[in-house]
Structure 1
């Protein structure tokens, strides 16, 4: 076990080795057959899906080196549960986007601007995923679910900017002038509103222990998405809105406002 100068120190010189069995604390059986249970845990920052895939690949290689009558059986695989949850998450994404699109369309009464505002979600999420990649943040059901539920927040900035650009267009300004003046006028209010929302998630950095491990990535993801939505609302929306704005919207807007005022008087 070691050397003292040139003389080896053997185990029998310092201890007595006796073949024996350790104490049995747990017994695992499957269908009444004795079983060896092996639990593989991943590091907090690693992907469950990637780890599960690598483990299964390694397991197939190990099987070829062991006796054929030795049976391996996976009794609990978290990656399968995550894949099922992802399918439900995709359905939730479709429902949320559909509701947002319908809501925007009912307000603007124009399909193309509605799609433009909805596209701000896609660009915000795309920018967020790039930030997540560089920050090496693990995506899980908590962060993805929070991202989906925050879709409504991501379009708020774009709606405010587009509506103000539309207001200047209806005043008679050219599309380019309306885009410049409209976006410039609401920059500070939109910035303040976004920072106010982000400040709620900044407090997650003061969590301790497991709470910080689980919820800090969620705070970073949503805050990054909000910052990305701010960038998109003052770059993509003003750049493309002049191409979509048309004349004749003021009369339609007055009809909507009149109907809204009548409904208020009714209630």
Structure 2
């Protein structure tokens, strides 16, 4: 009972995920050089860094992508490598390459730990028909992203197509040249104008005053009055050579959200420019419960932003996870029911059926308790392991029951039969269970990503078998000594006799088939050889893969154009692609983000 209660209490606490948690030791390094073309970024930034990174021990794969003004280098280490020690080596490599990097880089390359297997569990579109995206970005970045990051189970929150507000000064080069000024002269003045420097204090005879004023210009209008230089005693202001306008800090990023023909009313995106908020979960967090917390917090967060800002859910990956886990759980329950039904059909006794059937929930819930202690999750592989183990855990109890029942039919008392039967069959049950566990030893010792994924499957089956052995050697004999009685002198009913006749027919059919096989031994041998050969041929020609393909309900695509394509031209192509996708009647919604040629 204690084992049952502990397992029942722990079962809801197990994390829920589509697959076992596998953390790839992966680090992403980012270098910025504004204005640098892809070739310059690859030769001047990526190459010196790659030369230093290649000397790090345990590095299995290194890929780099260079685009306009940025370089990203992804380092993947051996699964046995500690990610923290690898981070120290990466930082040392960056420091060693600093002298070979361009001196005009605004900041040294940065790195962060990532898990390429972590996709966003939710995508939210944030947009408005009234407010500009630069203002919408304030609410998305300062309210939504920060508050969502504080929710239990939420890891990283990314904003795609970010439009941070900035002031952009547009200069007329003809007017500038006529006044004898250069862009470098203006850049220096602008950099020194909008700084917040200490102003000092004023000391009086009795009191001291701290001077405070903010020199920063936070809107476009005051910038037009900034003095750039003096010519002939008259000030030259920005409005004399150009104009200051509000805009985005990075004009090379954009994102859109669209509602499809299958969109549901009330939560559909406004088709047009948008900010896309991607939410990832923390390692080991329950993805279903995390999404539930996010959905529960959204009404409170939406009340903190203007009603003109529209927030809608674009994708929710837990829909597929819920459906998949629900199907596996139904399969597990169906397996238990079928096993119990087969036991009743063959034993034809309610007590004899319930005794081995009690092993199933005890073994499964006992395994759940151990899974919680070792940090496993309820995923497709662990639930599949529990489903497969249902047949294993019943075998031990049936073997124990049948041996005890044999002694009871021979005239022994139930208590003596339980002692003698368990003593006779105990070693056999242990040996059978050890041989079953031995089958999964290759999975336990398998390395690489496949080994990491299937290790939880193998350990779950092993734990279930071990718990079932303990139950079969202790609980099953005790229940037999209390509830099993001899039925030799009892008259059986019509159902019992019907099953008995069926078993006799099955036994006679098997006897006739066995006699037929023994009379034609050569044909039987040829059939065996043909079966083995056919199996080998099918093994070769059947398609192979890591996981079977499944319909998750989501499609992720990547669009790329030539490197010399402008940002505007790429956006036009993306919008043309969106018009094609929206015509599909099965699409409920989709989003896109653009960054230069991709």
Superposition TM-score tier, normalisation by shorter sequence: 0.7 to 0.9
Structure 1 Cα separation of the partners of residues 453 and 489 of structure 2: 49
Please show how residues 187-266 of structure 1 align to structure 2 within 5 Å: 187-249=426-488, 261-266=507-512
Is 1:165 the counterpart of 2:404? The answer is yes
Name the residue aligned to 1:7: none
Offset, 1:240? 0.4
Offset, 1:235? 1.1
TM-score, normalization by structure 1: 0.82
Offset, 1:151? 0.7
Structure 2 Cα separation of the partners of residues 210 and 140 of structure 1: 17
Please state whether the residue corresponding to 1:60 is helix, strand or coil: helix
Name the residue aligned to 1:48: 287
Of Structure 1 and Structure 2, the greater strand share is in 2
Unaligned segments of structure 2, at least 5 residues: 1-190, 193-247, 260-270, 514-598
Please show how residues 30-109 of structure 1 align to structure 2 within 5 Å: 30-31=258-259, 32-109=271-348
Q: CA contact under 8 A between 2:332 and 2:386: conserved in structure 1?
A: no
Q: Which has the larger radius of gyration?
A: 2
Structure 2 Cα separation of the partners of residues 46 and 202 of structure 1: 28
Structure 1 Cα separation of the partners of residues 382 and 402 of structure 2: 30
Q: CA contact under 8 A between 1:146 and 1:218: conserved in structure 2?
A: yes
Structure 1 Cα separation of the partners of residues 315 and 395 of structure 2: 42
2:393 pairs with one of 122, 139, 154: 154
CA change 1:248–1:260 in 2 (3 A) is farther
- More moved, 169-178 vs 255-264: 255-264
Name the residue aligned to 2:421: 182
Structure 2 Cα separation of the partners of residues 199 and 83 of structure 1: 33
Could you list the per-position Cα deviations for residues 239-261 of structure 1 after superposition, in whole angstroms to 9, with x for gaps in the alignment? 001222222349989x7886654
Structure 1 Cα separation of the partners of residues 256 and 439 of structure 2: 47
Q: CA contact under 8 A between 2:444 and 2:459: conserved in structure 1?
A: no
Note the aligned Cα RMSD (angstroms): 2.8
Structure 1 Cα separation of the partners of residues 377 and 427 of structure 2: 33
Structure 1 Cα separation of the partners of residues 439 and 512 of structure 2: 38
Name the residue aligned to 1:23: 252
Offset, 1:62? 2.3
TM-score, normalization by structure 2: 0.39
Q: CA contact under 8 A between 1:49 and 1:79: conserved in structure 2?
A: yes
Structure 2 Cα separation of the partners of residues 183 and 219 of structure 1: 28
Of Structure 1 and Structure 2, the greater helix share is in 1
Structure 2 Cα separation of the partners of residues 157 and 178 of structure 1: 17
Structure 1 Cα separation of the partners of residues 397 and 486 of structure 2: 21
Q: CA contact under 8 A between 1:158 and 1:237: conserved in structure 2?
A: yes
Offset, 1:161? 0.7
Structure 2 Cα separation of the partners of residues 96 and 262 of structure 1: 29
Please state whether the residue corresponding to 2:412 is helix, strand or coil: coil
CA change 1:264–1:60 in 2 (3 A) is same
Structure 2 Cα separation of the partners of residues 161 and 202 of structure 1: 26
Could you list the per-position Cα deviations for residues 142-200 of structure 1 after superposition, in whole angstroms to 9, with x for gaps in the alignment? 21122123211110111111111111212222111111111111112211211221223
Could you list the per-position Cα deviations for residues 96-129 of structure 1 after superposition, in whole angstroms to 9, with x for gaps in the alignment? 1222122111221112211221111011011111
Number of residue pairs the alignment of both structures matches: 251
